[in-house]
Amino acid sequence: MYTRVNMRGARAAAFRNGVNLTSNWGPLNEDMSFVDHIEFVKGPAGFLMSNGDPSGIYNVVTKKPTGRDFNGQVGFTLGSFDLYRGTLDLDGKLDKAGKALFRFNLMGQTKNSFRPYEFNNRLSVAPVLAFKLDDKTTLTLEYTYQRANMSDPGSVYSFAPNGFGTLPRNFTTLLPGMEPTIINDHSAFINLQHRLNANWKLTGQLAYFNYSHTGTSMWPDIVNADGTMIRAVGNWDAESNYKFGQIFLNGDVQTGAVHHRILAGLDLGTKKYIADFYQYHVLDSAGAEFDPHKPDYNTPVNGYPVWDRTTPLKQRAAYVTSQAYTGIYLQDELGFLDNKIRLTLAGRYTYVKQTDYGVDYNGERVTPRLGLSITLDPQTSLYALYDQSFVPQSGVLRSGGKIKPITGNNMEVGLKKEWFDQRWSSTVSLYRILNTNELTDDPDTAGAVPYSVVLGQKVAQGIEVDIKGELLSGLNMVVNYAYTDSKVTKANEAVEAIQVGDRVPGYATHNFNAWLTYTLQKGVLKGLGLSTGATYQVDRDSFSWLNHDGIARLPDYFRLDGGAFWKGERLRITANVYNILNKYLYSGGYEDWTDPNPHYYSWQVEAPTNYRVSVNYTF
C-alpha cells in the first residue's frame, strides 16, 4: 500500500519530485513503471526541502520527456504466484521543432500470493507533456493515476502467543469471501523552469494529490494462550487531499575571491486525511475459535461483515488529521581557494498548524545549518555538517496538554575518496542525531482515542561505509555497511515499559549489503550477464518497545538474490530469483495492549523462493 524506509534510527521522509508526502497511511506507493530513479539522501542533507526527520529522505523522481525522436518500449513480466504484468513507455516529440514533448507510461498487473486468497492487482497511467515556451522557459504538466484492487492488508500478518515464526509461512487469517480493498490515487504536477541568465534559474512547482481508500482491516480480537484466536475485521474507508507549492531561486555570484552558490526558496503545503474505521465485526466466537494449526476458511460463525456506507465519508469520518506548513529558506555556499574549501551557511523558518482528533497545534521555529567541505586533492574530500531539526507531530495527551514538535541537534562528519583512476569511489560517515519531545503510544490507552505520551529523548548514532567500483572489466560491485546505535537517553517516568538505555525498536545494529554484476564485454555472447546480491542484518529489534528479558527478539536476517540477463540492440531479457536459499524471513513486534487477554507476537512473512522473467523490446 505504502512504502516505509527506515534510516538512521527513524523513518525516512517520503518525497516525490521534491514534495513531502509522508503520512501515517498513503498515498499509494509509486509503481516502478513511471519512475525514472530514486534518490536516497542520508542525514540532514535534505533538511532544506521540507520539515522532516533528520535521519534522511528518499525522493522518487518520475519519468519526463527526454527530447529525443520518437521511441518506445513494451515489456512483459511473468512470475511466481500468478504474476502477469505488462508495461508500455512512449517518449517523443509532438512537433518537428521539438517545442512540445510527451512521455506516456501505462502498466497493468495481476498478482496472487504464496498465502491463499491474497491478491494485489494494479493499474497505472502516467502521461507527461513538456513545452519549451522559449529558449529559457520550460513548462511541464504531469498526471498520474494509480488503482489498486487488493485483499485485506491485515492478511500479511501471522499471530501466536509463543514466539515469532511458529506458524507455517503460508498461514493467513484471510477468508475467500472478504471484500477487496479498492484504492484510487490521483496526482498532478505543474512545473515551470525559467533561466533568468547564465547564472540564475527560477523554478516554480504546484502539486496536488487525491487518494481514496475503501476496504477493511483484519486483526485478532483475542489470541488465546493455546494459539486459537477470535478474528475481527474493521472497515477502513479513507480519503486524503494534499496540495503543495514551491518556488526555488538558485544562482552563482562571485565577490572578489569568494564564489557564492545561493539557493532560496518558499515551500507551502497542506495535508488532510479523513477516515472511518470504527465499524467493527467479530468473525468468530468463544467455543468456535479459529485454530491456526487446523484453519477453517469456510464462512465464519458470525458471518461476513456488512458495513453502513449510506452516509458520505466526509460526514461519518471520526478520524480527521490535517497539517498546513510554510517554509522559507536561504542557503549560501561560499567557496574559497578555487572552491577547495566550501562553507555552507543556511537557515529555514517553518510555521506549522495541524489538527489531530480535534486538538489544534501551532508551532514555528528557525533551524540553522552549518556545513564545511574541504578538497584535500582531486580524489579526496572531507566534510562536516551541523543542523537543528523541527518535526511537527500529531497526538492527543491524556492531560490535554499541548503537543510539542520533535526538536534536536544533528551532526555528521565524513570522508569521500576515489581510487584507481576513479574506477572506485568510497564514503565513510559518522553521525549523531539527538531528538527530544518525541511521542509514543500511551501504555494505558483504552477506548476510541489513542492517547500519546512524551517519550523523553533519544539519540541515534552510527557509522556508514559505501563502496562501489569495477573489480575487473565488466565486473562491478556495490558494498555498504551501516552500524546503528539508537537508544533512549531520557525517559518519561509514566511509561514503565520504556527506560533509559532501551533500544529504539525496528532496527538492526549491523546492516550489510553487497551486489555483484558481471557483463560479457565482447564475443558472440556480448551483453550476457549475471548478478547476485545479499543482505545481512545482525542484532535486530522488533517493532515493539518491549525488548526486555522474556520477550523474544528477531533473529538475524540473511537473504540472497540473483539473476541473469541478456541485452541486444532492441531486446532485453531478464530472469531474477529472490530468496534463493528459501529462508523463512520476517519482521514483527510484540502486542501487549490486549489486557487482560494474553499477549502475543505478530509478524509479517516474506515470500519463499520465487522468480520473475521479463522481456522488454525497444522500438
Q: Is the torsion defined by CA of 63, 67, 68, 71 positive or negative?
A: positive
Residue 513's pLDDT is what? 97
Q: Is the pLDDT of residue 444 over 80?
A: no
Residue 67, pLDDT above cutoff 60: yes
Q: CA-CA distance, 86 to 616, in Å (whole number)?
A: 10
Angle at 464 between CA 463 and CA 470, to 5 degrees: 150
Residue 456 has pLDDT above 90, yes or no: no
User: pLDDT for 177-206, tens place per residue?
Assistant: 999 999 999 999 999 999 999 999 999 999
Strand order in the sheet with 157-160: 157-160, 600-605, 586-591
Q: Higher pLDDT residue, 497 or 63?
A: 63
pLDDT interval class at 461 (50, 70, 90): very high
Tens of pLDDT, residues 110-141: 999 999 999 999 999 999 999 999 999 999 99
Q: What angle do CA 33, 36, 37 make, to 5 degrees?
A: 115
Q: What is the pLDDT of residue 443?
A: 59
Confidence of residue 585 (pLDDT cuts 50, 70, 90): very high
> Phi first, then psi: what are they for 604, rounded to 5°?
-105, 130
According to the model, what pLDDT value does residue 278 have? 87
pLDDT of residue 337: 95
Complete DSSP assignment for 301-331: TT--------S-HHHH--EEEEEEEEEEEEE
Domain ranges of the chain: 505-619
In the prediction, which pLDDT does 281 show? 96
Whose grid coordinates read 495527551? 397
Query: Is there a contact between 232 and 223 (Cβ–Cβ < 8 Å)?
Result: no
Q: For residue 357, what are the CA distances in angstroms to 102, 319, 322?
A: 44, 6, 10
Is 413 in contact with 430 (CB distance < 8 Å)? Answer: yes
Task: Tell me the pairing of strands 56-62 and 13-16.
Answer: parallel
DSSP 571-609: EEEEEEEESTT----EEEEEE--STTSPPEEEEEEPP-S
Residue 47 in this model has a pLDDT that exceeds 60: no
